[in-house]
Amino acid sequence: MALALELATPTRLVVSAEADEVVVPGVEGYFGVLPGHAAFLTTLGTGELTYTERGHQRPLAVSGGFAEVRDDKVIILADTAERPEEIDRARAERARQRAEQRLAGRAQGDIDFARAAAALARALVRLQVASRAGG
């Protein structure tokens, strides 16, 4: 028995697969879904979503959105989602550095610390997932 997984962003369908297991970053922490899981709806956080397909674990960087589990189906509507090979590591590293500088108070002007912290979390997840691309 497997789960039907569909993950989409506002601009594209990122994944449509049969998965043995899905691990999702919720706003309250990570949760895992196996076949037969109880139905629920939750808000996504920023983190690494993984799903196991035919014994292979597949990572994605996701941020924001919603996840619904029902009838052995996981539907994820994410604000952003990227596969490891789609991530520009240099850009993610620059974003990490900018966010760290803002949080350290080195940038001039008024700083929105919540936005800077969210940007840092997104950059770190993107770098983590990109490292799984094998190089």
Give the domains, in start order, of the chain with CATH numbers: 3-82 (2.60.15.10), 87-133 (1.20.5.440)
HEC-encoded secondary structure of 28-95: CEEEEECCCCCCEEEEECEEEEEEEECCEEEEEEEEEEEEEEECCEEEEEEEEEECHHHCCHHHHHHH
pTM of the model: 0.87
pLDDT in tens, the chain (135 residues): 799 999 999 999 999 999 999 999 999 999 999 999 999 999 999 999 999 999 999 999 999 999 999 999 999 999 999 999 999 999 999 999 999 988 887 555 667 788 888 999 999 999 999 998 754
